[in-house]
Chains A and B, each alone.
Chain A
């Protein structure tokens, strides 16, 4: 393009970038010019359109549990990360297929082997079919899902595919893609994009024409809706001779506390290589798509006078004379709703008034928003309040849950050392479980009449390795509890049909887990790898 023509085009774009104007054909044309300019900056429209596929090789780090798995609920408590090595992102543009492959390892002591096994993650999106590959097996996955470690599904994988500047620009130039009028914000021009499949995203372009970031949203159990913003930096010719610019770094930040959710470091790109066939196998394509957020049938077992344990998720229900208290609600919104409803059936006519959460981690607070939506008061250590407030106040306009539809403030009851809830029918002691390297603000519940302790992650985070084994004995000793049985949140160590652990079973779990953790540390040191959490610290085991 002659220099004078290029300058003229840029001038038109800048002049047309306005705030809040309705979309018109002219605006879309202006947005299209913005995108065409980006294509030019990336290597040229024809070159972009000619790309058949891109393979990104590198490594990454994820913020554990979206930033909700830290030692406390303070927004600045040190972030815990998961490494994702042997990372591949394959963008098969010819066939509209995307593959995410990586191997993950927690960069902190995790109690189950999968946290440190580098097990391969192999997720594929073929058009409208999302499936996972494990060895020779390919399995279709739900349209939409989320858990404390990831959001997933067709929309999420499509958005991850779009989170590459060349793919993004190319898609924005496709005829079916709808573009809004650009608006200006902090030195960028932002365009709202609607894909032919209906997915919505925002794309921002820097003054130099290059894509600056992409933003999209997904349902998220803990905060209602999570917005992901992936910024691109470190532009370089993709392969050294490709004629296409691609970024050497991607950083994805969350709308929740601005957490740096993914830091992706690129080792290399390859363009237009011979790819394996990533299309969904016929058996996958013709299989029924699993339901999103299925709600299991809720069942429970009576484990004491006025005390039940819910089999799905490990909530303990405690009945008082005129109300019901729950201990833990670490299940997704729909299931949390069912658990609360089930609790009401256990003592008909009594309202469920309070939810005690063992600690702040996202796998233990997945039902928090539903509990608040249903008017429950949340009982936790004082240090967790800032996190819970942020979770409850997080907006979810595109994926409204009950709390977003009828906003309610957090009712929070702070516990420092000990709180007793008591009436003439029931007594429940809530204790701070003190020194624990996994969770500083951890509570246990204790029903003295039943000699029953309820806990989350103190004894039963996982079977395999115990990196904080002393917490159980410490709390029992400190408060002189006569514990005979334990109602655990996680069903670790429970046989089929069993609802509580005996104290001896808990001791076996802790002793065995400590020995297994020490063996694990020893094996890692023998490999020259000094593992976080090693050597294991215990004064009892």
Chain B
């Protein structure tokens, strides 16, 4: 390189960071110094500003904005891996790491970057989540704190920051072990004193942490590994912190979280994050992942018509001569186990053999793994078989669920346009949902005897904003059905007139919503409303 510049050009290196010429093909690969796990952490600490500086840190405030993959990548228009990802913006984003007291506050305001049927998807409501040791709590917009959230989940996210993780290793709150190589990266495991394990990768020659990985339970996928990559290390008051974070899932390589940093504040006066004494004495919170939904205990069975029941949370039970068929298994494993149990009690001599799944979205499939574990055959659109196969074949080595403990293959019956389930006592027609911009690979069921349509998200995703308000009638007309009763996943059972009465103002609200945003100079996705 210097030869290119000629003898007259001297290159002076100053500032303590040597300029390194490009490594040629024969040059030895850079390595993180030392041989022990501690050596690796020490090297990372040095790269981040030095162990002494890191240990003296009192707090860090990260300020920025972020985007989440909607439903962890399970909420796209189709179930195929190449379908365009839908994102949620998270602005006004802060993470306050109170290192002095081992607490963290997470603030953000979310807005779905696609038309969402409930106002809550677009209201930028402030999320205010705190972890204080073993207490997770949330603060509402009135400043009231309530216990809630998953302690472990928040603890792991707290340590998904390179300085916080390295500091934990330095101050003894995490044990370091298992140094190993993965390509150019040096990996070490950090075992927090609470027992949770993270893996940190260190990239030479900078020796800054490249990523941190940990696993957690997931209702839809069994278990998920979250790998957060760090980009653009920049100094802030003596410590180096990344300006970009990308959290990838070990499922489809989904970029579950993209975090863009505007800046960091270091060792500022921060508010007291201690859990109020009244909360600390209360019962521990328990969080659910995406698709978590209601708990398992509360299942009530409501008869709808001959051979048709609805169970709390939106699973329908259809009785055939010698078996029972379910429609939809949202709500998580615990709920679905209870639902299947309740369904078996309706007609104890008849096994529950199959489930029709309306579409692949993760709020509709959170109990799919439990259903497969209980031997049910799954009926849905052909392409949904791709994602269902992936969801039900994932191992759960650290957080075993029923399917993880006893793996079973997916039994899948594909529907293209129409499939009829029929015996002497019951006929159910299953149809592909047409012309619906929320879900391309969806099915609904129709029981001619009752003139009943069983559906998820066609008319009843939410009452507020009917972005695809034509879909319900479009499908009825397209199939030439005589629907007098709608039995939905998300809402109450309605007559045809009640559905129309519910949907029509929802369409009007969409138009008003679009007009309001337009008046503010905001061209909203989904606007103007595409309704006939």
Q: Which A residues have a C-beta under 8 Å from some C-beta of B?
A: 57-59, 61, 70-72, 74, 76-81, 83, 85-86, 103, 105, 107-109, 118, 231, 233-241, 247-251, 260, 263-268, 320-323, 353-354, 377, 382-383, 385, 411-424, 434-437, 440-441, 467-468, 470, 527-535, 537
Contact of A71 among B4, B8, B243 (CB under 8 A): B243
Could you mark each residue 68-94 of chain B with 1 if its beta carbon is under 8 Å from any beta carbon of chain A, else 0? Answer: 000000001110101111110101100
A368 to B18, CA, bound (A): 25
B269 within 8 Å of A by Cβ? no
Q: In the assembled complex, how far is the CB of residue A73 from the closest CB belonging to chain B, in whole angstroms?
A: 9
Interchain CB contact under 8 A, B86 and A72: no
Q: In the assembled complex, how far is the CB of residue B500 from the closest CB belonging to chain A, in whole angstroms?
A: 17
A411 to B4, CA, bound (A): 10
Interchain CB contact under 8 A, A419 and B13: yes
Interchain CB contact under 8 A, A61 and B87: yes
Q: In the assembled complex, how far is the CB of residue A308 from the closest CB belonging to chain B, in whole angstroms?
A: 19
Interface 9-mer from B156-164, B231-239, B329-337, B491-499 = B231-239
Interchain CB contact under 8 A, A118 and B527: no
Interchain CB contact under 8 A, A437 and B263: yes
List 8 additional A-B contacts (Cβ < 8 Å) besides A237-B434, A437-B262.
Answer: A78-B258, A234-B441, A239-B435, A240-B474, A322-B6, A414-B22, A434-B235, A435-B234
A234 to B435, CA, bound (A): 10
Interchain CB contact under 8 A, A421 and B9: yes
**Which residues of chain A are near B255, meaning CB under 8 Å?**
78-79
Interface 9-mer from B361-369, B405-413, B518-526 = B518-526
Q: Do A57 and B9 contact each other (CB < 8 Å), given the known contacts A236-B435, A353-B4?
A: no
Q: Do A435 and B77 contact each other (CB < 8 Å), given the known contacts A236-B434, A249-B440, A533-B262?
A: no
A223 to B523, CA, bound (A): 32
Q: Which B residues have a C-beta under 8 Å from some C-beta of A?
A: 1, 4-6, 8-22, 63-65, 67, 76-78, 80, 82-87, 89, 91-92, 109, 111, 113-115, 123-124, 206, 229, 231-236, 243-246, 248, 255, 258-264, 434-437, 440-441, 467, 470, 474-475, 477-478, 520-528, 530
Contact of A78 among B78, B84, B233, B260 (CB under 8 A): B260
Q: Do A527 and B520 contact each other (CB < 8 Å), given the known contacts A78-B231, A416-B18, A537-B63?
A: yes
Closest to A424 in B: B8
Closest to A418 in B: B15
Interchain CB contact under 8 A, A416 and B523: no
**Which residues of chain A are near B65, meaning CB under 8 Å?**
108, 532-533
Contact of B17 among A77, A418, A533 (CB under 8 A): A418
Q: In the assembled complex, how far is the CB of residue A389 from the closest CB belonging to chain B, in whole angstroms?
A: 10
Q: Do A85 and B523 contact each other (CB < 8 Å), given the known contacts A241-B477, A250-B84, A416-B19?
A: yes
Task: Determine which residue in A76, A267, A322, A385 has the highest number of CB atoms from chain B within 10 A of its CB, and name it.
Answer: A267
Interchain CB contact under 8 A, B520 and A529: yes
Interchain CB contact under 8 A, B231 and A234: no
Contact of B91 among A85, A86, A530 (CB under 8 A): A530
Q: Do A70 and B244 contact each other (CB < 8 Å), given the known contacts A321-B8, A467-B262, A532-B260?
A: yes
Closest to A529 in B: B522
Q: In the assembled complex, how far is the CB of residue B503 from the closest CB belonging to chain A, in whole angstroms?
A: 15
Interchain CB contact under 8 A, A414 and B436: no
Task: Determine which residue in B1, B470, B528 has the highest number of CB atoms from chain A within 10 A of its CB, and name it.
Answer: B1
Q: In the assembled complex, how far is the CB of residue B274 from the closest CB belonging to chain A, in whole angstroms?
A: 26
Instruction: List 9 tightest A-B contacts by C-beta distance, closest first.
Output: A440-B232, A234-B440, A263-B84, A268-B530, A78-B258, A240-B435, A59-B525, A240-B474, A417-B17
A85 to B436, CA, bound (A): 19
Q: Do A423 and B8 contact each other (CB < 8 Å), given the known contacts A71-B244, A414-B22, A418-B17?
A: yes
Contact of B437 among A266, A415, A529 (CB under 8 A): A266
Q: Do A440 and B244 contact each other (CB < 8 Å), given the known contacts A264-B84, A323-B6, A529-B124?
A: yes
**Which residues of chain B are near A532, meaning CB under 8 Å?**
65, 89, 91, 260
A418 to B11, CA, bound (A): 10
A83 to B11, CA, bound (A): 45
Contact of A267 among B111, B245, B440, B526 (CB under 8 A): B526
Closest to B474 in A: A240
A267 to B77, CA, bound (A): 11
**Which residues of chain A are near B113, meaning CB under 8 Å?**
61, 83, 107
Task: Determine which residue in B91, B206, B435, B530 has the highest number of CB atoms from chain A within 10 A of its CB, and name it.
Answer: B435
A263 to B82, CA, bound (A): 10
Interchain CB contact under 8 A, B528 and A86: yes
Q: In the assembled complex, how far is the CB of residue B461 from the closest CB belonging to chain A, in whole angstroms?
A: 15
Interchain CB contact under 8 A, B231 and A440: yes
Closest to B528 in A: A86
Q: In the assembled complex, how far is the CB of residue B493 from the closest CB belonging to chain A, in whole angstroms?
A: 25
Interchain CB contact under 8 A, A240 and B231: no
**Which residues of chain A are near B477, meaning CB under 8 Å?**
240-241
**Which residues of chain B are near A235, meaning CB under 8 Å?**
440
A58 to B17, CA, bound (A): 50
Interchain CB contact under 8 A, B84 and A323: no
Interchain CB contact under 8 A, A414 and B19: yes
**Which residues of chain B are near A86, meaning CB under 8 Å?**
523, 527-528
**Which residues of chain A are near B83, meaning CB under 8 Å?**
233-234, 249, 251
**Which residues of chain A are near B434, meaning CB under 8 Å?**
236-237, 240
Interchain CB contact under 8 A, A83 and B525: yes
Closest to A78 in B: B258
Q: In the assembled complex, how far is the CB of residue A392 from the closest CB belonging to chain B, in whole angstroms?
A: 13
Interchain CB contact under 8 A, B232 and A530: no
